[in-house]
Structure 1
Amino acid sequence: TYLVDKSRMDWAPSTAIAVALGFLAVFWLLYDLACRTFGQKKNGDAIVGVLVLGLVCVASWLACHWFAGRAAFLLVGAMIATAMSANVFFWIIPGQRKVVAAMTSGEKYDAAALAIHGKRGKQRSVHNTYFTLPVIFAMLSNHYSFLYTHEHRWVLLFVMMFAGALIRQFFVQRHGFHLGRAKNPWPFAAVGVVLIAAVIVALKPAPVAAPAAQAAPVTFAQVKQVLEQRCYMCHGETAQMKGVRLDQVEGVRTHAQGIFQQATVTRQMPLNNATQITEEERQWIARWYIAGAKID
């Protein structure tokens, strides 16, 4: 399973799957409890918002320390998306049905008693609005390995999700501001953009140092040995993921830049480091490529 990164948590796939499902269930239960406990009280929305931020922060830390990076990002996004779906299934639609049934029954109904369904439905709908951009970010994150392979990936995940919620607040409040019913929304957008800019700065790649003059040159035989042990499983005779085959000299020559990028720059491969490539072996590939990727 792509959930497991043995360098972080060496557990059985079935255990990893069970824990991942637990993330979805526990977040929904705690979020729903917070909404029911504080949602209709004074400053309830602010209290629930702070609690949700805390839950997402904790979940981001746990997921990124327990699971493979790319799986952790998707898992936190799926966790929030599950809450969005549950809001619709358990609160928004049932409440709406009760109100419509009472109003179309032809019998006298208590408008005050029915109002609570509208309040709860609106609250959950608003929450879903703020969840939208964080979930979209999580969905797209797997295309950008520099995010989920970063040393502080959980911080990047949380900050980007928080920035998404702030930017969403800007769009929510903008219309009301033009009508004179809401405060200026631009501070939310500004803070969101600043957070994204901070993430971009944090992700700036460090320059790749040229190999020391006294270091012995890395031969293709050394690189080939690394490829045999770490890469042939998915890029050999029996399997060629993405059409990349590295058990032939011509394939290595064609994909030399890709090997360098994936193994030493983005460090995305091997996937979840399933074949346990070492740091020294990554450096061999880097030195070989920088020296001209010569194939003896």
Structure 2
Amino acid sequence: FIAWGLTHLFTGRAAFLHLGAITATIMSANVFMIIIPNQKIVVADLIAGRKPDPKYGKIAKQRSLHNNYLTLPVLFLMLSNHYPLAFGTQFNWVIASLVFIIGVLIRHYFNTVHARKGNPHWTWLGAAVLFMIIIWLSTVPKVLTGEPKTSAASAAAQVYIASAHFPAVRDTVLGRCSMCHTEEPVYEGIYHAPKGVLLDTDERIAEHAREIYIQAGRAHAMPPANVTQITDQERALLVAWFEGAGK
């Protein structure tokens, strides 16, 4: 539910980073608020010659085990900024949830083997199946909602099309973005437009003016790693287009 909520508050990229930060905060809290204080209590009892209460060790061990299982998911989430196929889809919250399950399965295998309690090979099968599901979710096209476009949206789009900057903006978007954001992407490895966003016509470019402004104009998040080498002048053009529309 946290992953779902974050993806509805932030972009996929930001949601993954926030989810990673929340998980890391929980892990840190386990250490500084439970594990270390309990250890100090046990050490103090030993120094004083008292028999330590075993409950403190059990609680600390439990929280340490929790952190152990969260290690792989938090690493992926904090590095997810480099993997747009993970967060650039409408199913990004599902992918984030599956990453947690995969991380737990992998850690369970190693924990069990290291404790000499067996060799649960089934965990790898489960992780592989979930990973294949993630691959599928990251490439499936956007599910059509069937909601008709409102006249207000069309009217707003016309404002951006009427801008004096639009001809240059259209050339920039078609040259830097539409190889992925089109019905049939031509960029290698991209089979469907990321997040279902299409930027191959005047109307579609105008409908996504705000996203273009934020992701390519202000945040420089798109194109990923600037693979199409969009220039600073072109980014400034996108900003001027969006901010100046309708004025």
Q: TM-score range by the shorter chain?
A: 0.5 to 0.7
Distance across 2 between alignment mates of 1:86 and 1:169: 22
Report the alpha carbon displacement of residue 266 of structure 1 after superposing the two structures with TM.
3.9
- Specify the alignment match of 2:22 in structure 1: 79
Distance across 2 between alignment mates of 1:68 and 1:153: 10
2:91–2:138 CA contact under 8 A, matched in 1? no
- Specify the alignment match of 2:135 in structure 1: 200
Q: Report percent identity of matched pairs.
A: 35
For residue 275 of structure 1, give the secondary structure of its aligned residue in structure 2: helix
Q: How many residues were matched structurally? A: 172
Distance across 2 between alignment mates of 1:261 and 1:272: 20
User: Are 1:67 and 2:10 an aligned pair?
Assistant: yes
Report the alpha carbon displacement of residue 274 of structure 1 after superposing the two structures with TM.
5.5
Matches within 5 A, 1:1-296: 58-105=1-48, 107=49, 109-111=50-52, 114-176=53-115, 179=116, 182-204=117-139, 224-226=168-170, 256=175, 258-261=176-179, 263-264=181-182, 265-266=193-194, 273=211, 275=213
Report the alpha carbon displacement of residue 259 of structure 1 after superposing the two structures with TM.
3.3
Report the alpha carbon displacement of residue 202 of structure 1 after superposing the two structures with TM.
2.8
Distance across 2 between alignment mates of 1:276 and 1:100: 54
Which amino acid letter does the alignment assign opposite residue 59 of structure 1?
Answer: I
Evaluate the alpha carbon distance shift between residue 183 and residue 197 of structure 1 in structure 2; reply closer, same or farther with a 3 A threshold.
same
- Specify the alignment match of 1:242 in structure 2: none
Report the alpha carbon displacement of residue 99 of structure 1 after superposing the two structures with TM.
0.8
Report the alpha carbon displacement of residue 68 of structure 1 after superposing the two structures with TM.
1.2
Report the alpha carbon displacement of residue 222 of structure 1 after superposing the two structures with TM.
6.8
Which amino acid letter does the alignment assign opposite residue 102 of structure 1?
Answer: D
2:88–2:138 CA contact under 8 A, matched in 1? no
Which amino acid letter does the alignment assign opposite residue 109 of structure 2?
Answer: F
Evaluate the alpha carbon distance shift between residue 129 and residue 223 of structure 1 in structure 2; reply closer, same or farther with a 3 A threshold.
farther
Evaluate the alpha carbon distance shift between residue 141 and residue 223 of structure 1 in structure 2; reply closer, same or farther with a 3 A threshold.
farther
1:137–1:161 CA contact under 8 A, matched in 2? no
Distance across 1 between alignment mates of 2:15 and 2:209: 14
Report the alpha carbon displacement of residue 81 of structure 1 after superposing the two structures with TM.
0.7
Q: Deviations over 1:199-256 (max 9, x none)?
A: 11332366xxxxxxxxxxxxxx97623367xx7xxxxxxxxxxxxxxxxxxxx9xxx4
Report the alpha carbon displacement of residue 169 of structure 1 after superposing the two structures with TM.
0.9
Structure 1 spans left out of the alignment, 5+ residues? 1-57, 207-220, 232-251, 278-296
Structure 2 spans left out of the alignment, 5+ residues? 142-164, 183-192, 200-207, 216-247
- Specify the alignment match of 1:289 in structure 2: none
Which amino acid letter does the alignment assign opposite residue 177 of structure 2?
Answer: I
